[in-house]
Amino acid sequence: MRKAVVAVGALVLSIALTVVAVVPAAVPAAAHDEPHIVITGGGWGHGRGMGQYGALGYARDLGWSSRRILDHFYRGTTHGPVPSSLSFDADKMRVDLRYLSSRSTTVALAQGSLLLTDDSGTGLVNITDGAVRLTANGSGFRLETATGCGGPWTDRQVLGRSKIRVVAHQPTGSNPTGSDGLLKVCGPQYLVWYEGEIWAVTNSGGRQRTINVVSVEQYLRGVVPNESPASWPAAALEAQAVAARSYVLAGDTRWRPYADTCDSVWCQVYDGRYTTRGGRWRASTDPRTDDAIVATAGQVRLTSSGAVARTEFSSSTGGFTAGGDFPAVADLGDSVSANPNHRWESHISIAVLESRYRLGDFVDLVVTDRNGHGPWGGRVGRIEIRFRNGTRTMSGNDFRRAFGLKSDLFTVSAIHRNADGSPDTGTDDDRDFQAATVDLLYRRLAGRAPTSGELGTWTDALVARGAEAKRELAGRLVHSEPFAGRLIDDLYRRALNRRSDSPGRSYWLNQMNNSALTYQQMGALFYGSDEYYQRAGNNNRAFVTSLYENILGRRPDGGGLDYWTGLMDSGRVGQVDAARLFYESVESRRTRARLLYRQVTAGELDSASTGDGADYLISRSDLDLAVEYAMMLVPQS
């Protein structure tokens, strides 16, 4: 389930193996000085379910547990044990080795003998030569033997069976280590060592298939480190383990009846125990991902009906998941500094467009439909390529595949051409877009346009450093007097019912910017002050009533009012502590998340995203959340 390089329900290419990624066929990149279209986008993959970089961001930067990560991305599912009613045996899971499709099944063993049996387990032949090659011939399989993968091969016999099982047989007392006791499958380009059994079978079309039969937990050992780097935090790896286990146990009928899943990007990349894929011998497992698998053993995500959920995942969501089987949610973790694909840019040559579609001169590229979730209005549903002699309309996903884009979350940020069709060298497309980004950040966070010096300096920074520089600028603007000062002004107005005085405003701004106090801690001090207590009515019951009204925005319920008043009357909770507990409540955090989002983006949060913001404020400050919302700001095309 790895980066979206294939269609058909397919998954997404793993983060861990991007060095060997197969990217989609794309039009040639546009030269910088020829007419071209600039596409700015976010994420890599289909964006459905869990974002792997989002899981990293939530685990590393926010300290989320794996359960919390999974609850966030797979809403509508619950955490639970593998149910007993699966469509196949999880202890004997059949994995189609697609790199051997329609090829002979060639298996070698360094130590021990190869026992060949029929489907019932009845022994057919025991091979001590070291390697076997099984080739379908219409009446069964022709057996050849050799001392190793490279032959030379000796023709032995025809085994008249529709399925041949190859098992490693070890003499009593033998205890081979490492790869010596594992079945080595010899492919045309690389070798893989597997646990379990290897089967040679034919599908309904008579084509040969090679199957590895293992337990789901053995299978996961060769999957999880290929999907998420083993160096990632344990919580992210555990979330990946549960997602990978759930995905495969949900069942995949594409490979029936001869297999339950496959080993490629069409399913989840699985490399057995050791492999030479990528040009070098390496272990396909890692102790850290092994630990994550053990820590979550037998745990899956379950639908409301109790079935295992088909938990798709992709490399990067671009900041918002795509929806589908699970509700679309904001992915604040996706902007983690390690993510190279949170924002990206691609150029498409206008000359190539005209040559490909042969509809005359290019006129415009227009997005006509989006899904409404995320930057630019969400993922592209429909897009029109307009020419002088006609229009080519396609889905955003088809456009992504046709032009090698990383996802269907993108916008047309610039079209560079001259009216006569000659090269447009008068502007720099990337600078144009980044300058617009700088201008937008200043206007939303500082309430003004940037000076020419600020615009030039930060445009250079964003061109050179991308999202890292954008985050730095957003952080500076959020902590500056116009933005942070506005939050302080709101505290004076809401808590003390007066305008801020200049010395007090400067003091609190300094406290917040020097990290002495978070905005939440400041709120507790304002609402817990004697000035507020006296204004509220100068008694505990009136004070608690006022906290309900001003912090939670509602009238107190009788039980809650009595409870908090009793705590204060007994001396167990003081003014500041009571205000702090109210200010840290989920109701307060949800309200503050909505207000921050509105202040930064001028938009409104839906209920799910409001909950995300409230969760974020458990461990981070309001200003940190404002930066995350600022990272979602993108100039509109």
Which residues are CB-contacts of 590 (< 8 A; sequence separation ≥ 6)? 610, 611, 613, 614
Tokens representing 351 are 């000359």
pLDDT per residue as tens digits for the range 237-269: 999 999 999 999 998 888 888 899 999 888 899
Confidence of residue 4 (pLDDT cuts 50, 70, 90): very low
What H or E segment, with its residue span, contains residue 37?
strand 36-41
pLDDT of 164 above 60: yes
Rounded CA gap, 11 and 270, in Å?
13
pLDDT of 2 above 50: no
Q: Count of CB atoms within 10 A of residue 400's CB?
A: 26
pLDDT (mean) for 71-99:
93
- The CA–CA distances, whole Å, from 245 to 11, 240, 294, 311, 536 equal 14, 8, 12, 9, 55
pLDDT of 90 above 80: yes
Confidence of residue 565 (pLDDT cuts 50, 70, 90): very high
pLDDT higher at 283 or 32: 283
pLDDT, residue 11, reads: 41
Q: At 329, is the secondary structure helix, strand, or coil?
A: coil
pLDDT of 556 above 60: yes
Nearest to 345 by CA among 79, 16, 4, 40: 40
Tokens representing 428 are 């720099």
Q: At 108, is the secondary structure helix, strand, or coil?
A: strand
**In this prediction, what percent of the chain has a pLDDT beyond 70?**
92
Is residue 417 within 8 Å of 425, Cβ to Cβ? no
pLDDT higher at 254 or 155: 155
Alpha carbon 128 to chain centroid distance? 47
| Amino acid at position 44, single letter | W
pLDDT, residue 13, reads: 40
Which residues are CB-contacts of 139 (< 8 A; sequence separation ≥ 6)? 158, 160
Nearest to 322 by CA among 79, 73, 78, 76: 73
Long-range (24+ apart) CB contacts under 8 A made by 463-469 are 463/430, 463/431, 463/434, 466/343, 467/335, 467/337, 467/339, 467/342, 467/343, 467/631, 468/337
pLDDT, residue 109, reads: 95
Q: Minimum mean pLDDT among 31-45, 182-196, 606-620: which range?
A: 606-620
pLDDT, residue 12, reads: 39
The listed range with the strongest mean pLDDT (67-81, 252-266, 422-436) is: 67-81
Rounded CA gap, 82 and 307, in Å?
9
Confidence of residue 583 (pLDDT cuts 50, 70, 90): confident
pLDDT of 31 above 60: no
| Amino acid at position 178, single letter | G
pLDDT (mean) for 320-339:
91
pLDDT of 612 above 90: no
Which residues are CB-contacts of 152 (< 8 A; sequence separation ≥ 6)? 146
pLDDT (mean) for 322-334:
92
Sign of CA dihedral 352, 356, 360, 363: negative
pLDDT of 428 above 60: no
Phi first, then psi, for residue 475 (nearest 5°) are -60, -45
| Amino acid at position 423, single letter | P
Is residue 107 within 8 Å of 198, Cβ to Cβ? yes
Q: At 105, is the secondary structure helix, strand, or coil?
A: strand
pLDDT of 20 above 50: no
Please state, rounded to an integer, the average pLDDT across all residues of the chain.
87
pLDDT per residue as tens digits for the range 463-474: 878 778 888 999
Rounded CA gap, 272 and 278, in Å?
14
pLDDT of 6 above 50: no
- Find the angle CA(613)-CA(614)-CA(616) to the nearest 5 degrees: 65
Which residue segments constitute the domains of the chain, with CATH numbers given?
A: 93-214 (no CATH), 481-631 (1.10.3130.20)
Q: Count of CB atoms within 10 A of residue 303's CB?
A: 15
pLDDT of 8 above 80: no
The CA-based diameter of the chain, rounded to the nearest angstrom, is 99
pLDDT of 213 above 60: yes
Rounded CA gap, 196 and 213, in Å?
6
Rounded CA gap, 201 and 623, in Å?
60
pLDDT, residue 103, reads: 93
pLDDT, residue 250, reads: 93
Q: Minimum mean pLDDT among 6-20, 157-171, 509-523: which range?
A: 6-20
pLDDT, residue 409, reads: 95
Tokens 């694909």 found at: 341
pLDDT (mean) for 114-141:
91
Tokens 């200043």 found at: 442
Rounded CA gap, 354 and 359, in Å?
7
pLDDT of 3 above 60: no
Q: Minimum mean pLDDT among 118-122, 350-354, 401-405, 421-425: which range?
A: 421-425
Rounded CA gap, 143 and 133, in Å?
6
pLDDT per residue as tens digits for the range 496-530: 889 988 888 888 888 877 767 788 888 889 999 99
Number of helical (H) and strand (E) elements in the chain, helices listed first? 21, 25
pLDDT, residue 524, reads: 87
Give the DSSP letter string of 120-163: T--EEEEE-SSEEEEEE-SSSEEEEEESSTT---EEEEEE--SE
Confidence of residue 633 (pLDDT cuts 50, 70, 90): confident
pLDDT, residue 303, reads: 96
| Amino acid at position 52, single letter | Q
